[in-house]
Structure 1
């Protein structure tokens, strides 16, 4: 038998059966579904300066040796292979929310990026990738004299 949470205070007055939505809320808010629907790739920030593109991936708990960066046909792929965890038979988990899974993130470089000058560093759980821009793509600035 499964217990379903019922909240009489939360009434959906516009629904035909207001209590019916409570049943679905309890099912889809359960950790069984949430654990499987969670995206298991790191979040990314992408920014641009005058002469570089910057990609940052939040990937804590890894080592720099775990990452593989590949560039093929103007697509930068960042991957991590599955980590074999040390299992301790004395620990019985009630809930596990983090695991070391394999993942791949791919980014298509713009034409203004220079694929010959890509640098990556991994510090404090953040993988930082700097991609230089081509010289012709850099903003040209000059003072224009008024005559």
Structure 2
């Protein structure tokens, strides 16, 4: 085992310059993520939030599930326009606490937006079923009657 002397007076900028090393230049997202974790204390509220989405085809419907805990159904804005489904949400929290001799104020703001191109056979005129429960948003989109479009075979003469 080797003991290494610690320098408690070391500036955070020394760590920052370490991540500017060319080794990390091929991974800009990783470098930025590491920097955020180091200098923002790993606070999840300081990171960009993009919830995971599952898409399943069941019969004549498309089921979409999105994990978005900590929100309420009023925080969501869902639009479907010209074959593009967009799900976005904004949430702002403010807390104030006053006790003997001090005042504490905290606030946070989180938002995200996810868009996806829908298959051509989705019926945008039909009502979309949307429910939010236990941190999961569930959407059911309906296909147009007539089923899947089959590719047309063309013979060369």
Matched, 1:125 2:132: no
Aligned residues: 112
1:102 corresponds in structure 2 to: 111
SS of the residue aligned with 2:110?
coil
Unaligned runs of 5+ residues in structure 2 are 1-8, 13-30, 98-102, 150-157
Output one character per residue of 1:20-52: Cα deviation in whole Å (capped at 9) or x when no partner.
Answer: xxxxx9x94753376699541111111111111
- Give the aligned CA root-mean-square deviation in angstroms: 3.2
Instruction: Return closer, same or farther for 1:50/1:38 CA change in 2, 3 Å cut-off.
Output: same
Distance in 2 (CA, whole Å) between partners of 1:133 and 1:44 is 19
- What pairs up with 1:131-142 in 2 under 5 angstroms? 131-137=141-147
Query: Which deviates further from its counterpart, 99-108 or 126-135?
Result: 99-108
Query: Match for residue 83 of structure 1?
Result: 92
More helix by share: 2
Q: Which structure 1 segments of 5+ residues have no match?
A: 5-24, 93-98, 140-147
**When the two structures are superposed, what TM-score results if normalisation uses the length of structure 2?**
0.58
User: Who is 1:144 aligned against?
Assistant: none
Structure 2 counterpart of 1:58, from 43, 61, 67: 67
